[in-house]
Structures are given as C-alpha cells and as structure tokens.
Amino acid sequence: GPRAEGRVLAELPQCLKKEAALHVRKDFHPRVTCACQEHRTGTVGFKISKVIVVGDLSVGKTCLINRFCKDTFDKNYKATIGVDFEMERFEVLGVPFSLQLWDTAGQERFKCIASTYYRGAQAIIIVFNLNDVASLEHSKQWLADALKENDPSNVLLFLVGSKKDLSTPAQYSLMEKDALKVAQEIKAEYWSVSSLTGENVREFFFRVAALTFEANVLAELEKSGSRHIGDVVRINSDDKNLYLTASKKKATCCP
C-alpha cells in the first residue's frame, strides 16, 4: 500500500504563518534539489531522524501522532507512561527518509523517564493546548529541558497549538497572537492543528519531514566539503542564517 512505499514529497510543503516560520522559501534549497537529482545525498537516504514531541499532560501529543501515523482518534485520555515511538517513512525528492516520532509523557511523575529519551533529536515539537494559556506559557520550560540534551544550533523547533476544533474563531485568534510571539522568541515554526478533525496534521508532519530532510542534506554536503556562494552554513543559529558570501567558487549545477 501507499504507506509501505512511504509518503511522497515532491515539493516543499509551505509554512502556516510567514511571521513564525523556520524559512519562507518556496522550494527546497537549490543545493538540496541539485544533490537529490545527482544522487549526492550520501547517507541521508539510510538515516532515521529522531523527532521528539513534548508538552504538558493531556495537550494531545499522543493523539497528534496517532492521527498522522494511524489516522485514528481516541477521545479517552490515557496518559503516556515514559515514552512511545512510531516510525514513519517518507520519500523526499526521490530519496527515502524516515522519521522516528517519540511521544513523551507530559505528567510530572513520568518526566524523568521521558527526558532520558530526549538526546539526539533533530527536531523538537512542543505541543500546547490552544484552549489553555498555561500550556503555552509552559512551552519555554519544555524547550529548555529538551535542549539540555541536545545541541541548540542543530535542532529544528516547532510550536504546535492543539485542539483547534475546541476554540471559537475569536478565541483562536487571541491565542494565536500570543503563540506567534512565543514562537518568534524561541525561533520555532508555528502550527495549529486538530487531531479530532485532522486539520493541518498531515501538512504539519510533511513540513517537519521536509525541513529535517533539507537540514540533513545540507549537513551532508557541508561534511563532504564543497561550499558555494549562497550556501547556508548554519541553520537555526542564534544570529539567524549565515550565508557564505566571499567565495569565488562557482556552484557545479545550481545557482
């Protein structure tokens, strides 16, 4: 079936909000597209990228993963004890790519177990409930805890408001304003979803897969040593993206 073959991404999925996006390019980075066409993606096609999902208890982390991976929704709350994970296969620009989605416990008493699984994440998804402002306020603490185990300059951040179906348009737009501010502050990409209706769930995870893939290919090209004008040399760093400008070397195929 289509699942076994992976979810196919031929184009870059777009962000939800331009003011809180990891980047706003229309397409994959030209070097990434080029490397994929020329089969120069090295080990990326064999790699499994770890993505961790954190946030307060009952904000809907498990439901979000289950909606995407299994297309199911459970209205009953069952606390995650420690951690759980799902594998999801993609094919990005013709290259196989896998994400390991780690569902962690939000309950305080399970947090110490869960946090031992934070290490080595390439993307961190912080989930809050769009109908509970405290859960948004706690997102910075969740991020701080997750970053203790990871290299902040090498990880992609996503801030996801959940349970959109439960808020009125007026409530939603108020909450979104605050959430966009937090997202900008922590340099995360903002999304809002509903696991009940499925709104934005697929779009969101496709975006996570695409950006994680892109970062992996750029890192691989970086490792293999060739640098070109306009290359991103650091992504998601503190001083925004740094681009190489002083190189006289010409790109081999792409501008």
Ligand X SMILES: Nc1nc2c(ncn2[C@@H]2O[C@H](COP(=O)(O)OP(=O)(O)OP(=O)(O)O)[C@@H](O)[C@H]2O)c(=O)[nH]1
Site membership for ligand X, residue 131 (CB under 6 A): no
Place of tokens 């681009």: 243
For 193, what's the count of Cα atoms within 13 Å in the CB-facing half-sphere?
28
Please tell me what DSSP assigns to residue 148. H
- Evaluate whether 214 touches 28 at the Cβ level (below 8 Å): yes
- Tell me the window of 71-79, 135-143, 178-186, 220-228 that interacts with ligand X (CB under 6 A): 71-79
Under the phi-then-psi rule, with left for phi > 0, alpha for psi from -120 to 50, and beta for the rest, what region is 202? alpha
CB atoms under 10 Å from CB of 70, counted, come to 10
Minimum CB–partner distance for residue 91 and ligand X (Å): 28
| Helix %, strand %, coil % of the chain (to 5) | 40, 20, 40
Give the integer Cα–Cα distance in Å for 51 and 118.
9
Nearest approach, Cβ of residue 249 and ligand X (Å): 48
Q: Is 139 in the site for ligand X (CB under 6 A)?
A: no
Contact between 60 and ligand X by CB under 6 A: the answer reads: yes
- Contact between 171 and ligand X per CB under 6 A: no
Q: Quick check: helix, strand or coil at residue 246?
A: coil
According to the binding rule CB under 6 A, does residue 137 interact with ligand X?
A: no
List, in order, residues 6 or more apart from 153 with CB less than 8 Å away: 234, 236, 237, 238
Tell me the number of residues near ligand X by CB under 6 A. Answer: 23
- Taking CB under 6 A as the rule, does residue 196 contact ligand X? yes
Among the listed residues 86, 145, 149, 165, the single contact to ligand X using CB under 6 A: 165
- Looking at the DSSP assignment, which residues form a beta bridge with residue 51? 101, 123
Instruction: Find the binder of ligand X among 12, 15, 22, 105 (CB under 6 A).
Output: 105
Please report how close the Cβ of residue 102 comes to ligand X at its closest, in angstroms.
12
When asked if residue 61 is in the footprint of ligand X (CB under 6 A), the reply is: yes
The CB density around residue 10, as the number of other CB atoms within 10 Å, is 9
Which one, 162 or 216, has the nearer CB to ligand X? 162
Spatial separation of the C-alpha atoms in residues 2 and 71, rounded to whole Å = 14
49 touching ligand X, by CB under 6 A: no
3 state SS of 20? helix
For position 74 contacting ligand X by CB under 6 A, the verdict is yes
* CB 221, min distance to ligand X, A: 36
Is 77 a binding residue for ligand X by CB under 6 A? The answer is yes
Residue number with CB closer to ligand X (171 or 252)? 171
Q: How far is the CB of 6 from ligand X (least distance, A)?
A: 25
Question: Residue 254 is which amino acid?
Answer: C
Q: Could you tell me the two tokens for 82?
A: 């420690």
- Answer for which of 133, 147, 166, 174 binds ligand X (CB under 6 A) is 166
Give contact residues for ligand X (rule: CB under 6 A).
57-63, 74-77, 79-80, 105-107, 162-163, 165-166, 194-196
